Every structure is written in structure tokens, then in C-alpha cells.
Amino acid sequence: MKLVIVATAMLAFCSAAQAASECSALKNGKARLACFDKEYPANMKAMPVAAGKANPFAKEDALTTAKLNGICRGC
């Protein structure tokens, strides 16, 4: 059973590698980019939306910067 699972996984990865090599073989830059975009579409749902939101780490970054600036170098 494990052999069947491993063989299936290898076939899946080989087909993805084949598609990538076909795109890599294209000489025209725009055509190659279009090929890769078609093979690997962007997942727009996974990208965070930062417009209109405050940086949640701004306060912590300011405290860390203040601590680092207070270190005496070359005393």
C-alpha cells in the first residue's frame, strides 16, 4: 500500500516538473512568464490585505528600536 502511495506522489511531482521544464524551454521572456503564470496561478485568497490596517508590530518595533539605540557602543 505504501508503494502505491509513493508511486502516486512521484508521478504527481514528475508531471509538475515536466510542466516547469516546458515553460523553461521557451526563449521569449513574456511567453515564458505567461506559461509559468498559467501553470502556477497566484492564490489571491491567501494574500493578506494591508490597506487601511495598522501594523500590529509597530509598538513592539518602537520599543526594540529604543532599547537598541540606548546601547552604548565603544564605551
Please report whether residue 74 resides in a domain: no
- Whether residue 59 lies inside any domain: the answer is yes
- Is 75 inside any structural domain? no
Give Cβ neighbours of residue 55 (< 8 Å, ≥ 6 apart).
61
Report yes or no: 32 and 26 within 8 Å, Cβ to Cβ.
yes
Contact predicate 24/32, CB 8 Å: yes
* Residue-range definition of the domain harbouring residue 55: 2-69
List, for residues 34-66, the tens digit of each pLDDT value: 888 888 887 766 666 666 677 778 889 999 988
- Residue in the structure block whose three cell numbers are 509538475: 16
Domain assignment present for 16: yes
Torsion angles phi and psi, residue 71, rounded to 5: -75, 130
The number of domains in the chain is 1
pTM above 0.75, yes or no: no
Residue 50: Cβ within 10 Å count: 8
| pLDDT for the residue 22 | 82
